[in-house]
A and B are shown apart, each in its own frame.
Chain A
């Protein structure tokens, strides 16, 4: 399986924040709030090899939500990572979605061991896109994370 390039961005659905799936925190040296996913939103099931995500170069945030018939209006959110900024020990592989035609941009974050430390650092490295970004970003766009 091919690896996703470090220059690419990957995205993942995050359930509504009423389920406590996001944190807001101040960015370092900035008064702006950065919203990120909690660790709980980024666990994989025991049977899974990796954490399902999608390549932003192929799948837009709104398409990602539409795949499962949800939208930002329902409170769903989308988090993003630049692949090269993932914590050490994680890699991103291009994998088929199930069903295969659900998501042409499907990929998985893989690691020999999904430790609590790795999940925690993965959560800390994530950024939640604004509702505006989710609605308006096209596949291939580069997200503004400031």
Chain B
């Protein structure tokens, strides 16, 4: 085998391994079904669901929230959120552990307003697009 043939074969092996890594299906976390059901339940709530005049779920907030949920399940290390509707008709994701808590509200434009608290560290801001800042906060442990 010539030196060139060896190099080509090695390159093919590396390329194959990388492709397998990219296409390998990572199993979804067990909580994905639970969260999907919470999202579905929120979408079915009628107006005044909270008895204080709360709005029914905004369809665009639901769409963006589904995408946000997919971003969460595709990220290793993200814990299960609690998903609920708020009085504005927007979907809220919440986490609480012994060390930190986070609340995220996703509006009809897909903008996520969030509050994160970990001991003395607090931050309140907005995120959108790929929700990278929120994902970073959720995986900073």
Q: A19-B49, A45-B54, A68-B51 are in contact. Are A120 and B85 (CB under 8 A)?
A: no
CB pair A23 B88 closer than 8 Å: no
Are B85 and A40 in contact (CB-based, < 8 A)?
A: yes
Asked if A124 and B94 make an inter-chain contact with CB atoms under 8 angstroms apart, the answer reads no
Report which of A19, A25, A40, A115 forms a contact with B96, defined as CB distance below 8 A. A25
Q: Does B82 contact A (CB under 8 A)?
A: yes
Q: B residues within 8 A CB of A115? A: 115, 124
Residue numbers in A under 8 Å from B127 (CB-CB): none
Q: Mark A5-40, 1 if CB is under 8 A from B, else 0.
A: 000000001010011110101000000000000111
Contact with B87, one of A43, A68, A116, A124 (Cβ below 8 angstroms): A43
Question: Among A39, A44, A117, which residue has its beta carbon within 8 angstroms of that of B92?
Answer: A39
B70 on the A face (CB < 8 A): no
A138 CA to B42 CA, complexed, in Å: 33
User: In the bound complex, do residue B84 and residue A119 qualify as a contact, i.e. CB atoms below 8 Å apart?
Assistant: no
Query: Which residues of A are found within 8 Å of B41, using beta-carbon distances?
Result: 18-20
A46 at the interface (CB under 8 A from B): yes
Q: Does B101 contact A (CB under 8 A)?
A: yes
Q: With A20-B38, A40-B92, A43-B88 as given contacts, are A13 and B52 in contact (CB-CB < 8 Å)?
A: yes
| Residues of chain B having any CB pair with chain A under 8 Å | 38, 41-42, 45, 49-55, 82-88, 92, 94, 96, 101, 103, 105, 113-115, 117, 122, 124
Can you list 20 residue pairs at the A/B interface with Cβ under 8 Å? A18-B41, A19-B45, A19-B84, A19-B85, A20-B82, A23-B94, A23-B96, A38-B84, A39-B86, A39-B94, A40-B86, A40-B94, A45-B54, A45-B55, A52-B52, A116-B114, A116-B124, A117-B115, A120-B115, A124-B101
